[in-house]
Amino acid sequence: MTDKPSSPTPGRITLVGAGPGDPELLTLKAVRAIQRASVILVDDLVSDAILAHANPDARITYVGKRGGCKSTPQATIEQLMLEAVRAGEDVVRLKGGDPFIFGRGGEEVESLRAAGIEPIVVNGITAGLAALTSLGAPLTHREHAQGVVFVTGHPQKNGPGVDWARLAASASDLRLTLVIYMGISSAPRIQAGLLQGLPADTPVAVIERATLPAQRQCLTTLGELVHDLANSGLGSPAIVVVGNVVLGVKAALRELAAAA
């Protein structure tokens, strides 16, 4: 009697949100997926404390801009994911925050589906949510904001980009909080556009490395944003929150900002 050749184990892939940085903000699903993975493809903005959950035998590949290296092209990342799944690996694609908020998670799902693979997706706490929470303030409030807009400040290569003046008019009319990702390098353009529809004294918070030990923040107004940002020396990765909800930041931080 001969042994039957074993059929290759089908691989699987899980897109996992690593949350904003604090490893305690991982979901249980995220931890379990990381623990059982045999291959992990890691983005920037995912801390080592999170990778400490990985199996010591797991193959971990960094595809972000760590150590000043150029980031891996998106097509290469998608190719790496496909090859690993096809080789029967239990693949985790670990992304900062939530995989479906500005993380190109949507593109990765599309490319996997085009190859006949349906990924599992595990949400993470997105930086835009964690940033203001870390200062003790909510993103919505019955008196200040009846909705939230998550928007990218990164100018699109071939697209028209965000119409900041129009967004400001809507935020003013509809009482919306604006949560801007990747907005630091475009802050002057964002400020100029938003000032066309929102008052100069609209409260603004900029939060760098939210939830990480190195977190820093700057509390300012729309009119002073670029000036105060330059003085504070804050840089990427940071979230800019615009709206009256920023008034809910804990008192100790407001006093510090006022004294600065």
Which residues are identified as catalytic? 43, 65, 182
For ligand SAH, the binding residues (CB under 6 A) are 20-21, 45, 95-98, 101-103, 126-127, 131, 181-182, 207, 209-212, 236-239
Q: Give the residue with the Cβ less far from ligand SAH, 126 or 177.
A: 126
Residues 6+ away with beta carbon under 8 Å from 74 = 104, 107
Nearest-angstrom CA–CA distance, 12 and 90: 5
Q: Of all residues in this chain, which one has the CB nearest to ligand SAH in the complex? A: 97
Q: Give the residue with the Cβ less far from ligand SAH, 22 or 89.
A: 22
Q: Give the residue with the Cβ less far from ligand SAH, 185 or 231.
A: 185
CB of 96 to ligand SAH, least distance (A): 5
CB of 16 to ligand SAH, least distance (A): 11
First CA to last CA distance, the chain: 82
Sheet holding 39-42, edge to edge: 59-62, 39-42, 90-95, 12-17, 120-122
CB of 120 to ligand SAH, least distance (A): 17
Count CB neighbours of 230 within 10 A.
Answer: 11
Q: Give the residue with the Cβ less far from ligand SAH, 11 or 20.
A: 20
CB of 181 to ligand SAH, least distance (A): 4
Nearest-angstrom CA–CA distance, 133 and 88: 40
CB of 119 to ligand SAH, least distance (A): 16
Answer whether 93's CB lies under 8 Å from 108's CB: yes
Nearest-angstrom CA–CA distance, 146 and 122: 27
Count CB neighbours of 252 within 10 A.
Answer: 9
Answer whether 164's CB lies under 8 Å from 201's CB: no
Closest Cα partner for 149 from 119, 115, 172? Answer: 172
Q: Give the residue with the Cβ less far from ligand SAH, 11 or 102.
A: 102
Residues 6+ away with beta carbon under 8 Å from 175 = 144, 145, 146, 147
